[in-house]
Amino acid sequence: MLKGMFSRPENMRLYWKQFMQQCVDIGVGSFGIVFIISLFMGGVTTLQTAYQLVSPIIPRSTIAQVVRDTIILEFAPTLTSIVLAGVIGSKIASELGNMRISEQIDALEIMGINTKGYLIMPKILAATLMIPVLVAIAGFLGIWGGKEAGVLSGVLSGEQFMMGLRQEFKAYNVFFAMAKSYTFGFIIASVSAYYGYNVQGGALEIGKASTTAVVVSCVLILFMDYALTAILL
């Protein structure tokens, strides 16, 4: 499928338009859910870390340090991507599946358009570009949510949290998170597009393809999460 995407676009302007449309759908369309889960993810991480750090000799600022690294290394890229696999993956699979069943893909083929190039490539490129952006936003929002939860619950002060955030910060962790998010973005879009594009049957099969796409994406995300952690850390 991926090989078939690469051919000279019939009309570069329409391909670009399609790419921008996908960027809006994936980026802006998923921002709401990313905003909500990131805030709560950060808040819960702060409270649970504080609950587990019972020793009086460990400074409270350590909570912020743990929250920062947990969110950057794991929660922002992996948890966000798993949620996005559900949101974006099912959308891509059902959209392409519906186009296949209603013969819209055949109609494009008959016109002489490379449907893999026109329909799938912009989705993969947009997901590979926008999911890292969403992951970066999720990271910021998660840390901010953690700070707000810590201050509101009285676990630590705002100054203690900011001090902890700056302690032993490694920029490489951000690179690691971005590497994961690019990989996960590609997995989500390509797996979902594969299942959607190859649907055969009717409405029931579109639902099945959508579910399979999400399940396979999630499993692959978790597998790659482990593989990348083992290789890069």
Partner 1 sequence: MIELKDITKGFGDKKILKGVSAVMESGKVNLIIGSSGSGKTVMMKCIVGLMEVDTGTILYDNQDFTAMDAHAKKEVRQQIGMLFQGSALFDSMTVEQNVMFPLEMFSKDSLKTRKKRVEECLERVQLKDAAKKFPAEISGGMKKRVGIARAIVLNPKYLFCDEPNSGLDPQTSLLIDQLIKELTQEYNITTVINTHDMNTVMESGDHIVYMYQGQKQWEGSNKDIVFSKDQQLNDFIFASEFLREAKEMRQLDMFKDGKWKEHLDEQLKRDGKK
Q: Which residues bind partner 1 (CB under 8 A)?
A: 7, 10-11, 14, 98, 102-104, 106-107, 109-113
Token pair listed for 138: 């999720």
Within 8 A by CB and 6+ apart from 11, the residues are none
Q: Which is nearer to partner 1, 5 or 149 (CB)?
A: 5
Minimum distance, C-beta of residue 102 to partner 1, in the bound complex (Å): 6
User: In the complex with partner 1, which residue's Cβ is closer, 8 or 233?
Assistant: 8
**Sequence letter at residue 31:** F
CB of 9 to partner 1, least distance (A): 10
Complex with partner 1: residue 14 or 36, whichever CB lies closer = 14
Query: Which DSSP category does 54 fall into?
Result: -
Q: Please, which residue, 17 or 170, has the CB nearer to partner 1?
A: 17
Write down the least CB distance from residue 101 to partner 1, Å: 9
The three-state secondary structure class of 11 is coil
d(CA 186, CA 92) in angstroms, rounded, equals 13
> Distance (Å, rounded) from C-alpha 89 to C-alpha 213?
6
Q: What's at 72, amino acid-wise? A: I
Nearer to partner 1, 10 or 159 (CB): 10
Contact between 8 and 112 under an 8 Å Cβ cutoff? The reply is: no
Kindly state the smallest distance separating residue 114's Cβ from partner 1, in Å.
Answer: 8
**Minimum CB separation from partner 1 for residue 119, in Å?**
11
Q: Which has the closest alpha carbon to 67: 90, 86, 83, 48?
A: 48
Q: What is the DSSP letter of 114?
A: -
Q: Which helix (H) or strand (E) holds 202?
A: none
Quote the least distance from Cβ 80 to partner 1, whole Å: 27
For residue 126, the one-letter residue type is A
> In 3D, which of 36, 68, 37, 28 has the Cα closest to residue 163?
68
Q: Which is nearer to partner 1, 102 or 198 (CB)?
A: 102
